[in-house]
Amino acid sequence: MKKYFDLKFSEFTTNKNFNFSRKKILNVLPEKYLLDAHKVISKWKGYKKTPLTNLKKLSKKLGTNNIFYKDESKRFNLKSFKALGGAYAVEKIAKNKKKMTVSTATAGNHGKSVSWGAKKVGANCKIFISENVSTTRAFEMKNLGAEVIRVKGNYEKSLKVCKDISKRKGWKIVQDVAWKNYEYVPKLTMAGYSVMIKEISNQTKHYITHVFLQAGVGGMAAGVISGIAKYFKKIPKIIVIEPEHANCVMQSIRYGSLKKVNIKKQSIMGGMSCAEVSLVPWRILKNAVNNCVSVSDKYVPQTLTMLAKKKFSDKSIIAGECSTPGVISIISCCSDPLVKKKLEINEKSNILIIGCEGDTDKNLYNKLYKIGNQKLKKND
Ligand SMILES: Cc1ncc(COP(=O)(O)O)c(C=O)c1O
């Protein structure tokens, strides 16, 4: 077992341009967006705060005060934080406009949110997916009433085709990524994600000292940071986590401006396997992030299995692949004495991680669980 508490990160970076400013952040994503997102979403049928689970066993092992895990596997029936973003944006866009068609390109969870949102407001929905999106994910979006269009090539290609066809047909794109002159919808999705922080601010009396945030294009991380700027009294250290071959936030932070990475190997953490930081999130991340850490896929199965088998907490947690890097990076940062010291992680620390998805792709989850279980058996 000891082996599992001795993980190594791939790379670690400190942001030399760190300068957290609530004002600047809330200029990028104004408070009225955040307040409206919470007002609207908390009225949705079936709305409940997702659990803030204490990973007591992990916290004890690492010598911290608390490690809180925001369990988004319980977010409506969609099992991911993305339910807060795309569906909310659809609702805002479709307001008073019946019979409209919305479209998006997706790695899975965002498309599911848009499909669900379109179904709720009675809009038509067209979803573009790349070759890398599983049939399980495609099927779930079809089940929510969307037409799913598979595009040859990667995510970028699916987005290009989505843009081209939507322009020709007059469909409204509801994308979670920003580009030149396309910022309003991505801002809405980010505002939706900030609801997680609004909830957390009422779920614990402890001041959070550290937040580990996964990033793909950076929307979730920047949405959460906006929530922190608005709702938290004290600002925690903010650490962004990425897959080692898709570390576009880390590269951009190092470089001091947006930098695209050439993904040599797609990560198993599909939602985070992104080559470029989105424009609006970057304006927030560039100064608000203290550190970046990148992690390898090789720790994903065992971490997923350990979360399910109550190795970190008293309760079993169903954590999809993108939910594992929070645990992986905390363990690996604590395994490196210099980094642990630099991050000031100690017995007073109250660390927050986001369990951003559950078993959103059941086939993949079962496969990873099996691999993780075999590894655990071999090493126990
Ligand atoms: C399922 C899933 N998709 C996507 C992302 C990335 O979000 P974003 O692209 O907004 O950074 C995450 C977490 O970071 C995730 O868990």
- When pLDDT is cut at 50, 70 and 90, the band that residue 278 belongs to is very high
- When pLDDT is cut at 50, 70 and 90, the band that residue 171 belongs to is very high
Q: Tell me which residue of 193, 31, 182 sits closest to 113, measured CA to CA.
A: 193
Q: Tell me which residue of 320, 327, 331 sits closest to 356, measured CA to CA.
A: 320
- When pLDDT is cut at 50, 70 and 90, the band that residue 6 belongs to is confident
Mean pLDDT of 242-266: 96
User: How close is the Cα of 171 to the center of ligand 1, in Å?
Assistant: 25
Q: Token pair for residue 123?
A: 């809009």
Atom 13, ligand 1: residue with shortest CA distance? 214
CATH architecture of the region 2-80+189-379: 3-Layer(aba) Sandwich (3.40)
β-partners of residue 128 are: 105, 149
Say how many CA atoms lie within 13 Å of 310 toward its Cβ: 3
**Quick check: CB of 80 below 6 Å from ligand 1?**
yes
**Quick check: CB of 357 below 6 Å from ligand 1?**
yes
Residue 6 — φ and ψ, nearest 5°? Answer: -135, 50
53 pLDDT exceeds 80? Answer: yes
Q: Token pair for residue 216?
A: 């793909």
What count of residues does the chain have? Answer: 380
β-partners of residue 129 are: 106, 150
| Run of H or E residues at 197 | helix 195-201
Task: Tell me how far CA of residue 292 lies from CA of 13, 39, 240, 332, in angstroms.
Answer: 5, 32, 5, 13
At the topology level, CATH places domain 86-175 in: Rossmann fold (3.40.50)
Q: How far apart are CA 254 and CA 15, in angstroms?
A: 7
Q: How far apart are CA 265 and CA 130, in angstroms?
A: 16
**Quick check: CB of 219 below 6 Å from ligand 1?**
yes
- Contact in structure between 127 and 146 (CB atoms under 8 Å): yes
> pLDDT tens across 23-35, in order?
999 999 999 999 9
Task: Give the position, in ligand 1's atom list, of the atom nearest the Cα of 220.
Answer: 10
Class of residue 264 by CB neighbours under 10 A (exposed 0-12, middle 13-18, buried 19+): exposed
pLDDT at 2: 58
Mean pLDDT of 354-367: 96
| 181 φ/ψ sector (left φ>0, alpha ψ -120 to 50, else beta) | left
pLDDT at 108: 85
Q: How far apart are CA 2 and CA 13, in angstroms?
A: 26
**Quick check: CB of 271 below 6 Å from ligand 1?**
yes
pLDDT at 379: 77
Q: Tell me which residue of 207, 170, 202 sits closest to 49, measured CA to CA.
A: 202
User: How close is the Cα of 335 to the center of ligand 1, in Å?
Assistant: 25
When computed from its CA atoms, the radius of gyration of the chain, rounded to whole angstroms, is 19
| Number of neighbouring beta carbons within 10 Å of residue 16 | 8
Q: Tell me which residue of 149, 199, 137 sits closest to 363, measured CA to CA.
A: 137
To the nearest 10 degrees (0 to 180), the angle between helices 324-335 and 300-308 is: 110
Q: Tell me which residue of 123, 124, 40 sits closest to 88, measured CA to CA.
A: 40
- When pLDDT is cut at 50, 70 and 90, the band that residue 13 belongs to is very high
346 pLDDT exceeds 80? Answer: yes
The residue written with tokens 């927050």 in the block is: 352
Percent of the chain, pLDDT > 90?
Answer: 92
- When pLDDT is cut at 50, 70 and 90, the band that residue 4 belongs to is low
User: How close is the Cα of 219 to the center of ligand 1, in Å?
Assistant: 7
Domain ranges of the chain: 2-80+189-379, 86-175
User: How close is the Cα of 119 to the center of ligand 1, in Å?
Assistant: 23
Is it true that 2-80+189-379 and 86-175 share their CATH fold?
Answer: yes
Q: Token pair for residue 52?
A: 């803030």
Tell me the pLDDT of the chain averaged across its residues. 95
> pLDDT tens across 94-114, in order?
876 768 999 999 988 999 999
Say how many CA atoms lie within 13 Å of 228 toward its Cβ: 27
- Contact in structure between 69 and 57 (CB atoms under 8 Å): no
> pLDDT tens across 334-345, in order?
999 999 999 999
- Contact in structure between 328 and 299 (CB atoms under 8 Å): yes
367 pLDDT exceeds 80? Answer: yes
DSSP structure class, residue 322: G
Task: Tell me how far CA of residue 17 lies from CA of 302, 325, 340, 354, in angstroms.
Answer: 35, 24, 21, 25
Residue 37 — φ and ψ, nearest 5°? Answer: -60, -45
1 pLDDT exceeds 60? Answer: no
**Quick check: CB of 84 below 6 Å from ligand 1?**
no
> pLDDT tens across 108-134, in order?
899 999 999 999 999 999 999 999 899
> pLDDT tens across 302-319, in order?
999 999 999 999 999 999
